[in-house]
A and B are shown apart, each in its own frame.
Chain A
């Protein structure tokens, strides 16, 4: 075992002598198929149901119990819409490349104290890899449609990604300052299970950093209501205006993954990660297996992530779509100065208040 993989020594689910690459591949596959995909379906359902409640509608209620299987039905429908698949090798190559690049970040995803495939000093920065790959891919897809809506959508996505990346990065550095490292395990260890020990409430500047991180992530990824690149009323869907069938489901899943990734990492960085109260951890350690502990931690993390995502959705439903130039304005002129203020403030706080 290489040192960076030592974190999951306790998880003895693989027989001894399994090659490292096989372990890594099966973990990535497991996360993708049993965490990301069902998570996307469930969150899509929750999003639609709660939005419907907010909008005086009923929402999905036919497929399965209370419409729970509606996302699955949608997926099946989208898959069979494409009778004849026409794509050249260039397109297949690019699609494959981007999909792989995006989901390669599954390997870095922090999912619990023992579920850290890659836990290095640079781990937290891998988030930007995913977000920028997603933005680049979305932009190229828009530009390649050869249509005006796609063109405008692509350019808006790119400009938003550029505007959102800087404040998001600075917001993340604030956390690194406090934890002393960008290693997932260190960031988690610097926080506790109680909200009082979360980074976000540790000092006022971290609170600003949290706000900046979340808001600029929404700018960077173009999450509603900051999704000028997918605006329906003017450029009827922008980047996604020509998508249907398999490609649309792939695109939606990619965007969901971006949103999920960002919210999950916001939880890990600012909201106590997967930390459980010490007595719970001890109890599970004493009376059960490490796998059970890991499962509980994962559950806690996913529930917190889901709540963050629903909070963002709530804000999105109550507000109109912001104009693309106003979004970039906000990112450059409000979020960026705020993030720098948070960085300086955190530094000063650490030097004079904590010591």
Chain B
């Protein structure tokens, strides 16, 4: 498969126009899932085909692309998708959130606040927030059309009745612009507040399920809750072990087989920026945790 044989950013222009029409419709009806003729992509369904098609449809030669998975630029799937766009479009890439014009993500929203003009593209496995309450597409579409969202609150009610609090921690449902209930993709609920009135455009692509939806800039995005059990986000007991950041989402890393563990930023770019600016956590400076050493060690492993 030689890159030269394919159009800029892989998809043909007809397909891109079709996807752009779906994106425009999605922006016009915030939170509404627009069916689109998802193409079969050269990567597997469930591995970001929706996000890749959205990015391919909107990206231009002057864009600067950042791709993250689990918040990190160098997880394997992020590397693979970034490589795909480098090969098929030749656009510039970056790991810096503030330098990117298009950011494709799986499961996280960057810690650095997004700015007007930036586009965040989410990879979505199951776009339908009601799917696990009602498996039928015909029925869930009716429920959206008639704004019948009582069942969603029954689920939250049951959580509280059983556990004393809402036990949904990721893919936490939100209401967009006071109308459609939407699945924010499997981001941790920690990231939900970042969607609210974001100056950036947020696009969601689900390839296998053939849906695109959007949150236009400055749109209200409210996490579902009860008045007396308001939505709240995860809190971590300790700051990032590497950069000392607080109020960010942390990954737990098991360091030995005796229960030893440490917590580090899930957003690898944010962590590196902070360390470059001189912030230090309790374990900062240990060379084994630097990106270069990581790559070298993996090389050895293979």
Chains A and B belong together in one complex: no
Give chain A's interface residues, CB within 8 Å of chain B: none
